[in-house]
Structure 1
Amino acid sequence: MIDAAIRQYIDPPLNSVGAKIAAVGVSANMVTVVGFLLGMAAIPFIVSENYLIALIFILLNRLFDGLDGAVARQTILSDYGGYLDIVCDFIFYSGIVFAFAWASPENTLVAAFLIFSFMGTASTFLAYAAMAAKHNISTDIRGIKSLYYLGGLAEGAETIAVFVLFCILPEYFSIIALVFAVMCWITTATRIYAAYVTFKE
């Protein structure tokens, strides 16, 4: 929901750091993989209920997720780089929710529902991007990307805000997860409608 609005604030510092990283020969894909591994490192800390340490790894993952695009913009935007970035993002998102289910069995049902909800946002996002490419539709409202980024109520910034709340208020995981799941389904519905308006015959 707010991803496009915050681009003007986060892109300049990310691009500055990204230029320095690119200058020493580090590729955007390397940044993506390191960021993904940092994100996965949060899982054992969540399982062992070391939530603040887990939060550090989650935030590092998000930092690297921003930096890989900044590095790519200094070098070359590749289709594989965009593919790798989005795949790692969705695995990371589901992995964090899975970890909370593992940490507390009472969270299992709600965590499963949230991951189920992620399928709606992920599939509508990726399917729209595929159709947009077929119709030569592009946008840079969320920065220069390798694929079309369709917005919604639940985007990257909202997801990270929810993960931060999970770590700070783990006792309220179920309530926070249910609210966010509803946001995901609203996003899914609006994206389906957007696709109908854009791609109907």
Structure 2
Amino acid sequence: MLDRYAITIIKAPLEKAAQLLDGSRITANHITVSGFLVGMLALPAIALQSYTFGLLFISINRIFDGIDGALARRQGITDSGGFLDITLDFLFYSMVPFAFALADPANNAIPAAFLIFSFMGTGSSFLAFAVMASKRGIDNPVYKNKSLYYIGGLTEGTETIACFVLFCLIPAHFALLAWCFGALCWITTFTRILAGFNTLRAAETDVERESEKTDLG
């Protein structure tokens, strides 16, 4: 929901960073993998209840995730890079609640499992529609520079990262935050399924009508 606004705020500094890196031997894929590896350090940090370090590694991961996209737009967006980026992003997102489950299994395990369950809904609806939209040649007018069709929702990347920050700042309230955010994720899932189905069905109907006109002609 907030991604379109966040992008306008962070666009300039990310493009500046990409400009500095462009021309070197560093590629967008290097940034993607490096950011993922740094982000994964949040797993042991959070599991050991070093939440400040966990927040630091999460923040670095998200900064690198922004830079890799900006650098890819300068060097050329590729399907392989887009695949790598989205796959590592979803692994990173699922890692964070798992880390909090390890930090306090008695209180956090079930809320963390529910949150990961909800991420399956948002992730599958996102990716499934992206595949079908690409097949149909459907473009997103809001996120034109994305390698995949970016279908929005109530809980997007900005909201997810804000939630992760809150997890680290007030870890004692992880369970409540996880239940609440997981519920919001399911609202996103249902709205994406509805919007995605209707969009694809409308595209199919248009094709059927064109086919009928061709047959009649």
* Shorter-chain TM band: over 0.9
CA shift digits 1:129-186 (9 cap, x unpaired): 0010011011252350111101000100000000000000000001000110011000
Scaled by the length of structure 1, what TM-score is found?
0.98
Q: How does 1:50-89 map to 2 (within 5 A)?
A: 50-89=50-89
Is the contact between residue 7 and residue 142 of structure 1 (CA under 8 Å) also seen in structure 2? Answer: no
2:3 aligned partner: 3
SS in 2 for 1:149: coil
1:194 aligned partner: 195
Is the contact between residue 3 and residue 142 of structure 1 (CA under 8 Å) also seen in structure 2? Answer: no
1:27 aligned partner: 27
Gaps (5+ residues) in structure 2? 205-217
* Paired letter, 1:173: F
Provide the C-alpha distance between the structure 2 equivalents of 1:140 and 1:163, rounded to a whole number of angstroms.
28
Is the contact between residue 129 and residue 149 of structure 1 (CA under 8 Å) also seen in structure 2? Answer: yes
* Paired letter, 1:196: F
1:108 aligned partner: 109
Provide the C-alpha distance between the structure 2 equivalents of 1:78 and 1:174, rounded to a whole number of angstroms.
39
1:36 aligned partner: 36
Is the contact between residue 132 and residue 138 of structure 1 (CA under 8 Å) also seen in structure 2? Answer: yes
2:97 aligned partner: 97
Provide the C-alpha distance between the structure 1 equivalents of 2:12 and 2:30, rounded to a whole number of angstroms.
21
The runs of 4+ residues in structure 1 deviating greater than 4 Å are none
Provide the C-alpha distance between the structure 1 equivalents of 2:27 and 2:161, rounded to a whole number of angstroms.
25
CA shift digits 1:34-66 (9 cap, x unpaired): 000011011101011000111000000000000
Larger RCO (alpha carbons 8 Å, 6+ apart) = 1
The 10-residue stretch of structure 1 (58-67 or 11-20) with the greater mean CA deviation from structure 2: 11-20
Aligned residues: 201
Scaled by the length of structure 2, what TM-score is found?
0.90
Provide the C-alpha distance between the structure 1 equivalents of 2:73 and 2:64, rounded to a whole number of angstroms.
14
* Paired letter, 1:63: I
2:159 aligned partner: 158
Measured on the aligned residues, the alpha-carbon RMSD in Å equals 0.9
Gaps (5+ residues) in structure 1? none
SS in 2 for 1:113: helix
* Paired letter, 2:102: W
Structure 1 vs Structure 2: percent identity of aligned residues? 51
SS in 2 for 1:154: coil
1:145 aligned partner: 146
